[in-house]
Amino acid sequence: MTTMTHGDYIAKIDFDPEIGMFHGRITNIRSVVNFYGNRLRNCKRNLRLL
């Protein structure tokens, strides 16, 4: 598991072998926000777009 931050957001990133992609979830907000990427750098980019 990897932890990423962007601004005030904290996300936990895991690799999902069933779909062959990384799955991220923001942990420090009330809403459920998930994002995916085939590389960690794609997850970082997706987190910045939120």
Q: What is the pLDDT of residues 2-50, one digit of tens each?
A: 898 888 889 999 998 998 998 889 999 999 888 888 887 777 777 776 6
pLDDT at 49: 66
In a 3-state reduction of DSSP, which class is residue 46? helix
Question: Are 6 and 48 in contact, with CB atoms under 8 Å apart?
Answer: yes
Domain that holds residue 26: 2-49
pLDDT at 27: 92
Interatomic CA distance for residues 50 and 46, integer angstroms: 7
pLDDT at 35: 86
- Structurally, the chain folds into a number of domains equal to 1
pLDDT at 50: 64
Eight-state DSSP code of residue 40:
H
In a 3-state reduction of DSSP, which class is residue 43? helix
pTM for this model (two decimals)? 0.70
Neighbours of 43 (CB within 10 A): 21
Joined together, the tokens standing for residue 13 give 């990133």
pLDDT at 14: 92
